[in-house]
Amino acid sequence: MTSFNIFALMTTLFALSMGQSYGVDSNLFGGRENQFLCFGRNSDIVKLNDGEPKSGILAANLFRRYSFYVQESLSKAECTTTGSGDIDLFVCEDPDGEECIQNPQHESRNPKSSSETVFTAGGKRTWYIIVKAQPEVSEYTITCNEVPLF
């Protein structure tokens, strides 16, 4: 293992111990493009509460996973981001981040913008929101709200 890979692994383990997840060098664990080191399938998903903003920083081309539960049958989720850099939003019912980015049910990709908004379909369910940084480091705040369908 090269010294860079050892450094990446140590940094990731430190980040996880602090309650964060960060991208890992793709060569460490099978070569997947947007790899995260996780202790379990969904251990890095951050729960969003209605109207409560969460902030983060992402390195270029990495992503962070969030979940949001719509509680009412006649409601949907509205998720928005603000910040700096180019952020994209992807929304799916499947928590697999890479699958969601490739086949989103809902998405917002405004070029060179950190201001994104996406609405989901209606009904009680959990949505998984993927925030992905594009070609540069990006700071962002994400907020999801439950809103009426009509």
**100 and 80 in contact (C-beta within 8 Å)?**
no
The percentage of residues in the chain with a pLDDT greater than 70, rounded to a whole number, is: 72
pLDDT at 150: 86
pLDDT at 23 over 60: no
pTM for the structure as a whole = 0.73
By residue range, what is the domain housing residue 55? 45-148
pLDDT at 38 over 80: no
Instruction: List the alpha helices (DSSP H) in the chain.
Output: 3-17, 97-102
Residues 22, 64, single domain; the answer is no
Residues 35, 88, single domain; the answer is no
pLDDT at 56: 95
Tell me the two tokens of residue 34: 């947007």
Residues 31, 64, single domain; the answer is no
pLDDT tens profile 54-100: 999 999 999 999 999 999 999 999 999 999 999 999 999 999 999 99
